[in-house]
Amino acid sequence: MSLETGDRGSTPRGLMPFRSLMSFRSLMSFQSSRPFRSLMSFQSLMSLSAMGQGPSYEPANWLTGRLADCMGTRLVRYLAQCGVASRRGAADLVQRGLVRVNGQVTTNVACQVRPGDQVICDGKPLAAPSETRVLLLHKPAGAVCSLRDPHNPRTVLDCLPPEMRAGLKPVGRLDKQTTGLLLLTDDGDLAFRLTHPRYKIPKTYRATVEGEVSDEAVSRLSEGVLLEDGPTAPADIRRVRYDAPRGQTVLDLRIHEGRNRQVRRMCEAVGCGVRRLARTEYGPLGLGRLKPGEYRVLTPAEVRHLRSAVGIDG
């Protein structure tokens, strides 16, 4: 079989789409292994790589997906991704005989779960983890929305088990002392769109502010106030209650923007200093009964709803 080469005569043009996966030499070696032969012949791979010059074909991604399908996912990792428990907790469930794969009890923590397998844990069928992982965290005060911060060693990822953290990033930010609903995901496009004002994803905050808030202040907040980085968009403002003994008012503010410390600055612009601030809703999602520091994994239906809301199909 002849392979056309480029001007430098070193890299076969037909193999260029596979450069991100492996070198030509390692590919030649890898093709002789048994799992690879069971997947496809080397000659077929050469043909597909040549077809990969088209803009809509991605052989490297296709090959990675096919290999993943053949290998499966370790059972304890599968259970952790489903939000059942940490890997250590999942291993305990397996060893106690509480997990069935395709109707059979297994105590093998290294058991491989493949696409289409049915997994039941403690009598409850588990839905396969979605390709996009989204977690809803009740952020506690004192945790920062960064992956690493040398000045603030406690980050929101510290609220998650170590095996759940890989690839997750906060969707937007809450400042250090603000508590409440924070999403984390491994889907960069979803995170970007959820925070972009173009998609108008509403976010609701409960603010406890100093003094009694006047009708005029509520009207100004509703219509938009001028901040140093420009006027804010109109917002939905509701006065929840006035606590006269403590000299404070509780407000609910629903906004569609996501500027740095926006709610605090909006309140300060009308003369109301913020004593406490919590985000209670993000789009259709609420905190429910989660306590500070607790989290849950969104269901596949919830993830699909979020993706649809920001124009991502599938």
Evaluate whether 262 touches 197 at the Cβ level (below 8 Å): no
Q: Let me know: does 140 contact 292? Beta carbons within 8 Å.
A: yes
Give the SS3 label for residue 63: helix
For the question of residue 69 being annotated catalytic, the response is: no
Question: Considering 69, 122, 158, 175, which one is annotated as catalytic?
Answer: 175
Whole-number Å distance between alpha carbons of 74 and 72:
7
Look up residue 237 and give its two tokens.
Answer: 């403002």
What residues form DSSP beta bridges with 119? 101
Q: Report the Cα 163 to chain-centroid distance in Å.
A: 14
The amino acid that residue 185 corresponds to is T
Separation of alpha carbons 277 and 177, rounded Å: 8
Beta bridge partners of 179: 278
Q: Tell me the two tokens of residue 217.
A: 């202040």
Question: Strand 119-121 to strand 124-125: parallel, antiparallel, or no bridges (unpaired)?
Answer: antiparallel
Beta bridge partners of 67: none
Separation of alpha carbons 240 and 207, rounded Å: 10
What residue ranges in the chain does DSSP mark as E strands?
A: 73-74, 99-101, 104-105, 112-113, 119-121, 124-125, 134-139, 169-170, 179-185, 203-210, 226-227, 230-231, 236-243, 248-255, 274-282, 285-286, 295-297
Q: How many residues does the chain have?
A: 314
Rounded Cα distance, 55 and 89, in Å: 44
Which value, to the nearest 10 degrees, does the dihedral of the CA atoms of residues 91, 96, 98, 102 take?
70
Which residues are catalytically annotated?
Answer: 175
